[in-house]
Chains A and B, each alone.
Chain A
C-alpha cells in the first residue's frame, strides 16, 4: 500500500520569509501524481499545486513551488514571501493515476507578523 509521510507536525515562519514543508512517499509505480492541499481554519480543502511524475520540471504556482526528487521519493513545498493568509494545515497527497488519493497526516503552518 502506498504511504505518504509528512515528518513535520508543525512549522513556523515569519511574514515575508520562506518556508519549506517536507513530504516523502512510498511507491513502486513510475508514473503518478502528487498534490499539495491547503486547509485553512475554515476547513475547506484547497488545491495548492500539482506535479506529474513524468515531468522533470518542478511545478510552480506564484509564491508556491515544489522540489520534486523522484529517485528520493521526495516532494517538498516551498512557500516564498509568506503571508498571514498562508497559515493553514498543509496536506501532501499521492495519486497512482488510476486510483484514489492517499493523504499524509498534514503539517500545520504558523505565520507570525
Chain B
C-alpha cells in the first residue's frame, strides 16, 4: 500500500545536538511538507518542497533545515539553533502544491533530554 513513513516514532535530543527526522513516501507525489504541532497551536509549516532539489521556507523555518535529493525522501534536521524543539512533527505529501489534499505520516515525537 502506498503511504508516508516517518521514523523514528520517538526521538530524544541532548542539548546542542542536531537530529534528523526521516520522511519517505511511495505515493509518487511531487510536493512534500514538514509541520510542527504544539498543544493549542494547530499545525505550523516549517518547510515544503514542490520538486526535487527545491524547497521553500514555511512560517517557522528558523532552526530547521531540509534537503530533497530524491522524490521519495524529505528529511528534516532540527539543529541546535532551534531553542524549543520539543514538539510533534508531521510530514505530508501531495501531488502538487495547492488544490489537492495532503496525505500525512504518523508523526515523530521529539523530546529534549
Task: Spell out A's residues near B (CB within 8 Å).
Answer: 33, 35, 42-47, 50, 91, 95-101, 103-106
14 additional A-B residue pairs with CB within 8 Å, beyond A91-B43, A98-B99, A101-B43: A33-B98, A44-B105, A44-B107, A45-B90, A47-B103, A91-B42, A95-B98, A95-B99, A97-B98, A100-B33, A100-B45, A100-B97, A103-B43, A105-B41
Docked Cα-Cα span, A104 to B105, in Å, equals: 19
B106 at the interface (CB under 8 A from A): yes
Q: Do the beta carbons of B104 and A45 come within 8 Å of each other?
A: yes
Question: Is A98 in contact with B97, judged by CB distance below 8 angstroms?
Answer: yes
Which of chain B's residues has its CB closest to A45's CB?
B104
Most chain A CB neighbours (cut-off 10 Å) among B98, B103, B106: B98
Per CB-CB distance, the 3 closest pairs between chain A and chain B, nearest first, are A45-B104, A105-B42, A98-B98
Q: Indicate if B23 sits at the interface (CB-CB under 8 A).
A: no
A29 to chain B, nearest CB (A): 11
- B residues neighboring A (CB under 8 Å): 33, 40-45, 48, 58, 88, 90, 92, 97-99, 101-107
Compute how far the CA of A100 lies from the CA of B106 in the bound complex, rounded to whole angstroms. Answer: 20
When distances are taken between beta carbons in the complex, the residues of chain B under 8 Å from A44 are 104-107
Contacting residues, chain B, for A101 (C-beta < 8 A): 43, 45, 102
Given A44-B106, A44-B107, A45-B90, A99 and B97 contact (CB-CB distance below 8 Å): yes
Bound together, the chains give a CA A57 to CA B90 distance in angstroms of 32
B104 touches A99 (CB 8 A): no
**Chain B residues near A35 (CB-CB < 8 A):** 101
